[in-house]
Each structure stands twice: as structure tokens, then as C-alpha cells.
A and B are shown apart, each in its own frame.
Chain A
Amino acid sequence: MTRADKFLLAGLVVFSLLSMAALYSRFSGGADKLQSSKAVISVQGKILRTIDLTPGTRSSFTLQGRLGPSIVEKKGNRIRMMEAPCAGKVCVNQKWIENPGETIVCIPGEIMIRIEGTAPLDAVTR
């Protein structure tokens, strides 16, 4: 092994360790509070899209549930079902959700919006 080989070896090791630190640090405790949360929207059991809940942004979009188009609105780190074609409107009445593990479920439309992360409770009996 020549000197240059050793430099290359050291360089590669350092580079992989650095990239490891850069890539994985996002998962460790302290930093992820700065990260914006994500909302996962699924229809009939299939994930339709994932939305970054970045503070300071606002948007709304239409998605096709089993009963027809529903409108989801996102504002900052919160998300809600703005309009839905279902009869009960349970999903619309639930208003905004923002905490990890919170869900909005529209049973007739088979739509689920869930904020990623672990909730303090494992489940709720109702």
C-alpha cells in the first residue's frame, strides 16, 4: 500500500463518517424538533401522498375518496379536512390536527390523514 493509498483510505473513511453524521443526525432526539412534521394521507389503505407540515406555508388540495372529491387544507404545521362529500362530516368537524400520532379518519370516504410520529398513547378506546 502506498502513501497515496493510505490517504485515499483515510479520506474515504472520513467522508463516510461525515456523511453518516450528516444524514443520520436528523433522526436523533434534539434536532428533530426543528424538522417540520409530515402528514400521511391514505385512501382505501394506500398511501396517496405525504405532506410536509412546514410552519409558515399554506395550501389546499383535492383528493378522491371513495365517495368523491374531498378537500384537505394545510396551514403551517396543522392540517384538516375542509370539505368532504360524506353525510356525517365527522372528519370535517374534527377540525385541525397537529400532534404526532393524531389522525383524521373519514370512514365512508375511506380516507385517513395521520401525522407521523409516536403519540403518547398507544391507542384510544371509544
Chain B
Amino acid sequence: MSGVSATLRAIFEPGFFSSGPVRVAVLVGGVVALVSAVVGVFTVIRGQSFAGHSLGDLGTTGGSGAFLVGANPLWGFVAFTVVGAAVMELLGIRRPRGRDLATGVVLGAGLGIAALFLYLGTVQSNTSGATITILFGSMFVIRSSLIPVFVVLGASALAIVGLLYRPLLLSTVSADIATARGVPVRMVGIGYLLAMAIAVSLSCVTIGAVLSTAVLIGPAASALRLTKRPGLAIAVAALIGVAVTWLGILLAYDSYYWPPARRGWPVSFFVVTLVFVVYLLADLASRRTGRKGARRAQQALAPGDDATVGRAPRGAG
């Protein structure tokens, strides 16, 4: 019995469960990871990982702009991600051929504006540390008063995906079939971009731009290596997302006295490393089963079939 509690104490540094910031981080991190992972499954299937990441960086721009004018950063994040998504849509993110360039141009402009905002902020307040905070975020400094707002934002992103689930899936796998069936493919795509923008701004403002991309893409990509069924992939992705986030928080808390700096290793490092390891393991697992059933899979890859969802052509959507 004492052995068990000693082990537990070694894993959970004293004070882990009673620390206020940790509780907030666990709660908010969990919600964010869950929402991001669910939304991320479609991001990965639709081949919009670049857009998902770019929205995060655009949110950073908005956050630094809000910081500059003294507004609540949250609204800066939300405004810039939503506007960024709209411009990407206008410039042609729908067509797989123009998507890469449209996303890139919007991102390039956003980064330029971020450079200006951060520079002006530095001149104004003489605290260039804001650059780092905005880019990398810090889960342990979330204000608990904002939690209800985060929950509402997360719920609305999930609601959009839930409402659009069937048409979204259909138009992702085959835009032609969806059009023939009367699905407003473009509107569905816009709705999905909106959900992604909300999810990304939520994760950006709470856990930073880097982790935002990590929890959006990592769990979803890993889940899609393990299963081709969209429903199952969403569940697996959510599980992976929440697990790596919580484990990352735990490790960051434990690392407080680790060398060399003895002021804790960043949460983002732990979460990102865990995400990457999970992806490598999923990749390994899928290669194992892939070799066994390669021929079977080839036959199952007929267009329109559910089995193709995980491997929709890169241009789908």
C-alpha cells in the first residue's frame, strides 16, 4: 500500500491536484484538446492542415493587435481567425490546386502584420516578452474567469461540426456526389472553415499557436492512420488529444525542479513530443496491418465507399 502511494507521489508531484492553476489548465486543456481533435479529423481528411495551422498564426496576429490596443486578446484571436478563414475562402481554398497558395498568401500577410503589431507593442510597453507568450502560450496563466467563454466557443464549434456531419463527410469524400445529391458543397465548406476558425482561436488563446496546431492535427492524423471509419476516428482522436494534453501538463508540472534551468520545462514541448510519438506509433501500427491486408485495402478503396474516407484524394473538398 505504501509502495503504491510512493509511486503515485513520484508520478504526481505533491500539490498537483490541489494547485489552482493546474486545475484550470487540466480543465481548459481538456476541453480545447477535445474540440480540436474532433474538428481536426475533418481538417486532416480535407487536406486543410496548412489552413488550420495558418489560422493559428493569424489568431496570434489578432492577439498581438488586441494586446496593442488594450482589448481582451480573446476577441482579437477570434476576429482574425474568422476574417482569415473568409479571405482564404475568397482566394480559392476550395480548389485543391489553389488552396496551398491562397493559404500561404493570407498567412504571409498575417505574419507581416504580426511583426508590426509586436514591434509597436514592444516600443509602447517595453515588454518584448509578449512575443514569446503569444507565440508559445502558457497554459498555467489562463484566467479562470474566461472559462465559461471558452466552453461556449468550444461547444459552438462542436455544434457546427455535429450539424454538418453527414453533408460535410459526403462533400469531403466526393464533392461531385454531394453536389448531385443537392448538398450545398460550398456553404458546407464555409461552415466547416468557421468551425475550424473558432476551434483554432480557442486553442490559440489558451495554449498558444504551436500547441494549437499540435492538438488539431496530431491526434486526428494518428487516429486516421489507425482507422478509416470517420466516427471511430473522431472518438480515437478525442481520446488521444485529451490524453496527450493531460500527460503533458502532468510532466510539465513534474519538471519544475528539473535541470538545467530549474524553472520547469514548457508544456508545449511535452505535448508536442507526445503527439509526435503517438503519430509514429500509429504509423508503425498501420504499416504492420497495412502489409498484411494491402491487397484487401486496395479493393476496398473504391470511390464513394466509407473505407475511402481516411484516404480521400489529397484534393478532395
**A, B assembled together:** no
